[in-house]
A and B are shown apart, each in its own frame.
Chain A
Amino acid sequence: MDAFTIDLLLDIASVIAFATGGAFLLIGAFGMIRLPDVWSRLHAAGIMDTVGAELILIGMMFQAGLTQATLKLVLISLFLFITSPTSTHAVANAAFTAGIRPVRLRKNEADRVIGESAKRTGES
């Protein structure tokens, strides 16, 4: 395999990563508009923050090759991988503590987790 073929393969890999990542970003952003309440929008934001962002970063890593830029991209993606669930959980916990409950809730087992304080924040 000569250098040209490897370049072509890397280009194809990053085009695939960019296309799927961009599609997930657009679907997530569309879900932010379409879904009915905060709790369901958390999942749309989860799509954008995890799969969309990581795929686009991976596509950039294919283009950067084995350089310092790839190392920095790996650091950024590791950081997003750890902090995005943390901030999503922070939003969810704040909404839960503020007494906001999902619309049309099918099943609620909150009493088994928080026990007594369930009465304080009110039911669904």
Chain B
Amino acid sequence: MKKAVGLLVALFALWLALSGYFKPFLLSLGVLSCLFTVYLASRMKLLDDEAVPLQLRPSLLLYWGWLGREVFKSSIAVSRVILAREMPISQQLVAVPCTQKTEMGHVIFANSITLTPGTVTAESGNGHFLVHALTDDFAAPEGFAEMDRRVTAVEDR
């Protein structure tokens, strides 16, 4: 039930943001279409933790800010690699352990690794991610451990 209300509010906010009309007739049409969508979603049994991630902590936004800074820093590092006269590439596939309990936490951690330029998640299994790193600096385990700790902190209430 909580998930249905959350989805309804999110859908109606999206509808408002995209349409920008505030006439009563159009607003009621929007509410009706959102209700119909929520009905269809509940019939398809889509109202779970994956589709409506209300279980995530609000500090996810703070985590996104931190992630943005990390992304900027590592993009500068990758740009230096690209622009160097002799590209100092030493590609490697490293196994990174992950300590999250839920699948949502795994997805957030893997997507954060991939979003940071210089590291790409290629495969997962056995409680590890297989991460492709461009140089030795990007493959350092300390950076992954810090990101892992932060993702575990936002994962579940």
* Residues of A participating in the B interface, judged by any CB pair closer than 8 Å: 24, 27-28, 30-31, 34-36, 39-40, 42-44, 46-47, 50-51, 68, 71-72, 75, 81-82, 84-86, 88-89, 92-93, 95-96, 101-110, 112-115
Bound together, the chains give a CA A80 to CA B82 distance in angstroms of 23
Which of chain B's residues 48-87 have a Cβ closer than 8 Å to chain A? 64, 71-72, 75, 78-79, 82-83, 87
Bound together, the chains give a CA A30 to CA B139 distance in angstroms of 23
Does B78 contact A43, Cβ atoms closer than 8 Å? yes
11 new A-B pairs (CB below 8 Å) besides A40-B134, A92-B120? A24-B79, A47-B75, A85-B112, A85-B114, A93-B122, A95-B122, A104-B90, A108-B93, A110-B123, A112-B126, A112-B128
A-B contact pairs, 27 of them (CB 8 A): A35-B82, A36-B89, A39-B120, A40-B89, A44-B82, A46-B115, A46-B118, A47-B75, A51-B71, A51-B72, A82-B111, A88-B114, A92-B120, A92-B122, A92-B132, A96-B122, A102-B132, A105-B91, A106-B90, A107-B92, A108-B93, A109-B130, A110-B123, A113-B95, A113-B123, A114-B126, A114-B130
Interface size class for chain B?
35 or more
Given A40-B134, A50-B71, A109 and B117 touching (CB < 8 A)?
no
CB nearest neighbor in A for B79: A27
Determine whether B110 belongs to the interface, using a CB cutoff of 8 Å to chain A.
yes
Task: List, in ascending order, chain B residues with CB within 8 A of A88's CB.
Answer: 114, 120
Does A35 contact B87, Cβ atoms closer than 8 Å? yes
Determine whether B104 belongs to the interface, using a CB cutoff of 8 Å to chain A.
no
Given A43-B134, A115-B125, A106 and B82 touching (CB < 8 A)?
no
Which of chain B's residues 1-53 have a Cβ closer than 8 Å to chain A? 14, 17-18, 20
CB distance from A79 to the nearest CB of B (A): 11
Does B123 contact A93, Cβ atoms closer than 8 Å? yes
* Residues of B participating in the A interface, judged by any CB pair closer than 8 Å: 14, 17-18, 20, 64, 71-72, 75, 78-79, 82-83, 87, 89-95, 110-112, 114-118, 120-126, 128-130, 132, 134, 136, 139
